[in-house]
């Protein structure tokens, strides 16, 4: 799936690959400390935020998840 911003699609693919590898090779085997993909996620997140502004997509009231953020109600 492509990203909301054309320029973000490659960053999304890199993050997805990193996360999927970490999830399968570390997390599911009990290694839950650290996430080597955090920096890629931040770069992708910044790109998406810029694309949202450029496309004037309304996001009022939308909560975003990310590293070190808890789910609402937890």
Q: What's the pTM?
A: 0.71
* Per-domain residue ranges of the chain: 6-55
pLDDT, tens digit, for every residue of 3-60?
A: 877 889 999 999 999 999 999 999 999 988 888 999 999 999 999 989 888 878 777 6
pLDDT score recorded for residue 24: 93
The CB density around residue 31, as the number of other CB atoms within 10 Å, is: 10
Q: How confident is the model at residue 61 (pLDDT cuts 50, 70, 90)?
A: low
């Amino acid at each position: 799936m492509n990203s909301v911003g054309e320029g973000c699609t490659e960053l999304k693919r890199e993050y997805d690959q990193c996360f999927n590898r970490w999830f399968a090779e570390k997390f599911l085997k009990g290694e839950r400390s650290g996430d080597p993909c955090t920096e890629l996620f931040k770069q992708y997140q910044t790109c998406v935020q810029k694309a949202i502004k450029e496309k004037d997509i309304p996001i009022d009231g939308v909560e975003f998840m990310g590293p070190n953020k808890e789910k609402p109600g937890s």
